[in-house]
Structure 1
Amino acid sequence: MTKTFKYWQWRTIFATMIGYAIFYFVRKNFSFAIPGLTAEYGISKTSFGIIMTLVTVVYGASRFLNGYLADRFNARYHMAIGLLLCAAANYAFGFGADLSYLITGESSGPQFVNTMVFIFGLFLLLNNLFQGSGFPPCNRLLTHWIPANELATKMSIWNTSHSIGASIVAILCGYIMATMGHGAWKWCFWIPATIALVGAIGIYIFLRDTPSSVGLPELHTINKKGKEGGAEYKAFLRKMVFRNKWIWILAIANFMVYIVRFAVLDWGPTFLKEARGMSLANAGWTVAIFEIFGIIGMIVSGWLTDHVFKGKAHRTCFWFMAGVAVFMTIFVSLPAGTSMPVMVVVLAMAGFFIYGPQALIGIAASNQATNRAAATANGLIGMFGYASGIVSGIGVGMLVDAWGNWDYVFYGMIGIAVLCVAVFTLMWNAKADGYAEEETAKL
């Protein structure tokens, strides 16, 4: 590998890391606005749960569609335009109450609130539709710039981007909600949207497409693409993605991993405030620490995959999901009056273990499908992951509204983590990648 190639490899890694972190600025800000919207307008958790479910399903479908498109289009433009549209949707969300007033002529009451909830839902749906253009272009670029035998370690480093983004926006929005008073929730959208606008420009400036776009040789040259819209390529996709049993097992596992992950991320600030008595500022720091430990977990899981499990990411996932089950059990068993540092450490360790599989499942899918179909495979498993919003969104919201007890949510998360461990056992004997299969698919 030449010095020039390494320069562009790391430039691509860091540019996509920063860009994808900023996508999280304009996606994970909503959960911190929920307490403010509830306090000002009395919107129920079930209503928020329905919105979370709808937007998560839309995002999953968008990930699948954009995964298919990302294998065909210039990743630089794809990602930059997507982030620009996300910024626009977030600016619009901040004016949701004003739009409801213009439509209804009222500033309070059921009609005003219901109209506002509809407007919020509409802009969040649009935002998550555009959010689907974040990960697929990154996945396509990384599998073209990083050799398969280095992918787990380097992509695990890259995967820290969403934890970095989520932790920074948690601190930022926690501070906004704690200090800016009435109407502070609006700034949870406007400030991140401004950052995203700058980020979209940065993506356009610093990113390029595949190695050949800067005059460098492609990796895996024996697997060089044919005509992407032709019959041969469609047959290749069928074999390596849609008829590949390992991809489907990874998709099912991803569904379970994301239920646990989003139950904590989407509801964490509300849960910590209501069930553990934390201030929103402290809840923001707690979620940020959860994400920071997740960063460490991703890096450790990538290193273990390449150096201990010989590239077999599914085996690392097996052990990490067992760790999730253990620490979720410890967390729900903590007695009343447990000190905040103890709660934070236990929840952070759950984050350490949940983010290993969250990062590695996409890496495993990329390797099993090969770099020629990596974005499509990740689009499919991403769709399953974000379909989990049916459970982590409306399911959690309705459960807490009905029972008023957050413990039942954690019992469910423990059961799902144990089931996920069982799913990974089905893949225990799988090879590290599908490049040998790719050659047979081309014959």
Structure 2
Amino acid sequence: MDRKYRAQQWKMLLVTMFCYLFFYTGRHNFGWAAMGMAADLNIPYTTIGWISFSMLIGYSLGQLINGNLADRFSARLMVTLGAYLSIMTNIAISFSSSTTMIMILWACNGYFQSMAWAPGAKLINNWWNERERGKAFGFYTMAAGMSSMLTYLISIVLLQQGYEWRMLFRLPVLLLLISATVFLILARDKPIVKADPDAPVAPVMNWKDQYRMVLRNKKFMIACLGFGFESMARYGLIFWVPVHYLGNNWKDNPGNLWVTFLLPVGMAAGALTFGMLSDSLFRKDRIKAISFGMLVSAVIAVLVYISPSDNLWLGGGLMLLAGFFVYGPQACFWPLSPDLLGSSLTGTGIGFMNMIGYLFAAFGEPLLGYAIDVTGDTNSIFIVIAVLCLLSALSVAAVRRVTGPQSFALSISKE
């Protein structure tokens, strides 16, 4: 491979990672602002839950739309526009005192945030071939995990410094403004290559045909089901772990803050590790890698359930492992889109898969909240999460039993 092109490959991957590294500052900040928002606006936590639900629904709908748009328009412009609109929405929320307005703005923010992931994945897929696809998506997914870690860290510092909840919507997103601008300047949608007049011309599909091809691929649809359960488990940890460890007296137990911080640290490490292992140890067998990760996650969730919550060292270690094994398999889910659908449908496939994931996550939040209400114990969420991880592993394993073409590209070649 040409050394200059190799350098450009890494440049595009790293600049996309750098941009996404700060995207969650405009989304995962909400959980840390929830307690102050509820107290300041005198609203119940049920309302807080519905505000969070609105963002997840907005994000899910946006994934369905923007994933397909990424196959048609400039990923570079879509990611940047989504970042700028999300920043504006966060700042608008920080000046709002109307619950209805905050809910509407947060739902819009979910849509704007969805303009980044699938387009960014499309850009990476344009630059990296199938042989190194797992590694590239592993690095990209690691950036998302590190974004959670960074948002957690910034929120912890701001809260410890005594800043009110409104500042959590103003200050962190300034970092996103910088990274999105750098991405706009440096990123390029795809390599510049000379056209080969003898190369076969791929059929041109409209957006309806693209969605139809996704829906007809049984293997991909079952994989999406497994991703949905994995997303429920992941967001169950992200949203409820702080509630479990912090409670209402986190100022009296500041060490608990750092136990929760180890969760996104594990997520970032797991994403990179699973992405690379899927190409090497598992020999591009994404299904085996995902099933392994989710089965181990189920065991870890049970261990968290039976472990004493006041043991910070044990809790911190289990949170690190939980993040590692629950989030790591996501790096193996994303390559399934080009693997099963073909590169021409990468954006549409990833957007559809992420839409399913966030729909499941949205409805999973009330489920986990109900488990706490029924049992009166936040520890019960880990049993639910264990079941969700097991369902994810079983669903993904079922992909092997489905007959049909491995990818849309393969079916085209046969025709």
Alignment TM-score, normalising by the size of structure 1: 0.86
Alignment of 1:46-125 (within 5 A): 46-97=46-97, 116-125=98-107
Partner of 2:22: 22
Task: Supply the RMSD in Å over aligned alpha carbons.
Answer: 2.5
Whether the 8 Å CA contact 1:52–1:393 is kept in 2: the answer is: no
Shift of 1:200: 2.3
Name the residue aligned to 2:317. 345
Cα distance in 2 for partners of 1:176, 1:128 equals 23
Where structure 1 has 5 or more consecutive residues not aligned to the other structure, the ranges are: 98-115
Q: Assess if the C-alpha contact under 8 Å between 1:255 and 1:388 holds in 2.
A: yes
Is the aligned partner of 1:193 residue 2:164?
no
Q: d(CA) in 2 for partners of 1:276 and 1:429?
A: 50
Which residue of structure 2 lines up, in the alignment, with residue 420 of structure 1?
Answer: 392
Contact 1:257/1:354 (CA < 8 Å) preserved in 2? yes
Q: How does 1:400-439 map to 2 (within 5 A)?
A: 400-401=372-373, 403-428=375-400, 434=406, 437-439=408-410
**What amino acid maps onto 1:227 in structure 2?**
V
CA distance in 1, matches of 2:184, 2:194: 22
Aligned partner of 2:331 in structure 1 is 359
> SS of 1:417's equivalent?
helix
Cα pair 2:244 2:379 within 8 Å, conserved: no
3-state DSSP class of the match of 1:373? helix
Amino acid at match of 2:372: V
* CA separation of 1:281 and 1:250: change in aligned 2, threshold 3 A: farther
**Structure 1 letter corresponding to 2:229:** M
User: Residue 96 of structure 1: SS of its match in structure 2?
Assistant: coil
**Structure 2 match to 1:13:** 13
Which of 184, 197, 204 aligns to 1:227? It is 204
Q: Which residue of 2 aligns with 1:163?
A: 145
Once the two structures are superposed, the pairs formed by residues 229-248 of structure 1 within 5 Å of their partners are: 229=206, 235=209, 238-239=212-213, 241-248=214-221
Per-residue Cα deviation, 1:339-388 (whole angstroms, up to 9, x for no partner): 21110111210111011222211122232112110110111111110002
Partner in structure 1 of residue 231 of structure 2: 258
Post-superposition offset of 1:4 = 2.2
SS across alignment from 1:210: coil
Give the deviation of 1:172 after TM superposition: 0.6
Report deviation, 1:277. 5.6
- Give the direction of change, closer, same or farther, for the CA distance of 1:397–1:200 in structure 2 (3 Å limit): same
Residues 1:327 and 2:300 are matched in the alignment: yes
Distance 1:218 1:10, change over 3 A: farther
Give the Cα–Cα distance (whole angstroms) in 2 for the partners of residues 224 and 203 of structure 1. Answer: 31
State the distance in 1 between where 2:349 and 2:296 align: 27
Q: Distance in 1 between matches of 2:370 and 2:48?
A: 10
Q: Using the TM superposition, give the Cα deviation of residue 294 of structure 1 relative to its aligned residue in structure 2, in angstroms.
A: 1.6
Range with bigger deviation, 278-287 or 360-369: 278-287
C-alpha distance in 2, partners of 1:402/1:236? Answer: 44
Q: Measured at CA, do residues 193 and 389 of structure 1 come closer, stay the same or move farther in structure 2, by a change above 3 Å? A: same
Paired residue type of 2:149: S
Q: Distance in 1 between matches of 2:176 and 2:161?
A: 23
> Could you tell me how far 1:422 is from its partner in structure 2?
1.3
Instruction: Report the Cα offset of residue 53 of structure 1.
Output: 1.9
Q: Note if contact 1:255-1:386 (Cα within 8 Å) is conserved in structure 2.
A: yes
Structure 1's 275 and 82: CA in aligned 2 closer, same or farther, altered over 3 A?
same
User: Which letter does structure 1 place at the counterpart of 2:396?
Assistant: F
> For 1:138-149, what aligned pairs fall within 5 Å after superposition?
138-149=120-131
Aligned residue in 2 for 1:440: 411
Mapped partners of 1:420, 1:51: distance in 2: 27
Say whether the 8 Å CA contact 1:168–1:288 is kept in structure 2.
no
Determine the structure 2 residue equivalent to 1:133: 115
On the 8 A contact 2:368/2:384 being kept in 1, the answer is: no
Aligned to 1:303: 276
CA 1:330/1:403 → structure 2, altered by over 3 Å: closer, same or farther? closer
Q: Secondary structure at the match of 2:328?
A: helix
The residue number in structure 2 matching 1:375 is: 347
Greater mean alpha carbon deviation, residues 389-398 or residues 142-151: 389-398
Amino acid at match of 1:74: S
TM-score where L is the length of structure 2: 0.92
Structure 1 position 439, deviation (Å): 4.0
> CA separation in 2, counterparts of 1:423 and 1:334?
28
CA distance in 2, matches of 1:218, 1:352: 43
Distance 1:70 1:247 in 2: 19
Distance 1:153 1:87 in 2: 30
Task: Describe the shift of the 1:316–1:125 C-alpha distance in structure 2 as closer, same or farther (beyond 3 A).
Answer: same
Q: Which amino acid aligns with 1:128?
A: G
Q: Give the 3-state SS of the residue equivalent to 2:344 in structure 1.
A: coil
Which residue in the other structure is 1:271 paired with? 244
Identity %: 21
> Is residue 153 of structure 2 the alignment partner of residue 180 of structure 1?
no
Aligned residue identity for 1:384: I
Residue 240 of structure 2 aligns with an amino acid whose one-letter code is W
Contact 2:145 2:271 in 1 (8 A): no
Contact 1:26 1:86 in 2 (8 A): yes
Residue in 2 that maps onto 1:292? 265
- The Cα offsets for residues 367-422 of structure 1, whole Å up to 9 and x where unpaired, read as 21121101101111111100023333233334435653212222211111112221
3-state DSSP class of the match of 2:343? coil
| Distance in 2 between residues matched to 1:69 and 1:310, nearest whole Å | 32
Gaps of 5+ in 2: none
Distance in 2 between residues matched to 1:388 and 1:64, nearest whole Å: 14
C-alpha contact 1:48 1:397 (8 A) present in aligned 2: no
Name the amino acid aligned to 1:20: Y
Instruction: Kindly provide the CA deviation profile for residues 248-285 of structure 1, in whole angstroms up to 9, marking residues without a partner as x.
Output: 01110111001111111122222211189676864543
Structure 1 residues 186, 236: closer, same or farther in 2, change over 3 A?
Answer: closer
